[in-house]
Amino acid sequence: MGGMEFNKIFAAILVAGIIAMFGGFLAKQLVHPHSLEKEAFTIEAMEESAGGGAAGPTGPEPILALIATADAAKGEKIAKACAACHTFTKGGPAGVGPNLYGVVGGPKDHMAGYAYSGALLEVGGNTWTYAEMNKFLYKPKAYAKNTKMSYAGLKKGEDRAALLAWLRTQADSPKALP
């Protein structure tokens, strides 16, 4: 390999490097990424306990006192996520999950013709009390391991209370507040 060929290869590599650097500089000037002011959707995750100390509470905090003052309008907004699988109108059809009209205070297998897994009846009796619904909505798979419901759950007590306040209005005779 002669001196001239070496110079050509070195010049080609040098020019390619300069073009790559210029391309990177130009890209930074043309593209201005921005951060969102707030997250579009918040994913709630379980917090890990640090250092192997005592674990925090494993179940939901009691929300019976919150239900009476909860915002049912907020609960209706939260229920929009449930509407992907459930309906709420009187006599409404089942979706992936059963219709939830009259569910608060009603039997856990309240919708005739829906193929329930049977897992809900194995836990906490046959009636959807406020306390049982609180436990279920917190984390359905922890409440009834073999339930068909694949929803991760509502971790915030205020959200569960608001949803229950709204769900209780979806009945001919709403269940009395606790």
Q: What's the DSSP call for residue 104?
A: T
CA nearest neighbour of 60 among 128, 155, 129, 140? 155
Predicted TM-score of the model (pTM): 0.66
Q: Given pLDDT bands bounded at 50, 70 and 90, which one contains residue 45?
A: low
Q: What percent of the chain has pLDDT over 90?
A: 51
CA separation for the pair 95, 125 (Å, rounded): 24
Length of the chain in residues, anyone? 178
pLDDT single digits (tens) 56-69: 456 788 888 888 88
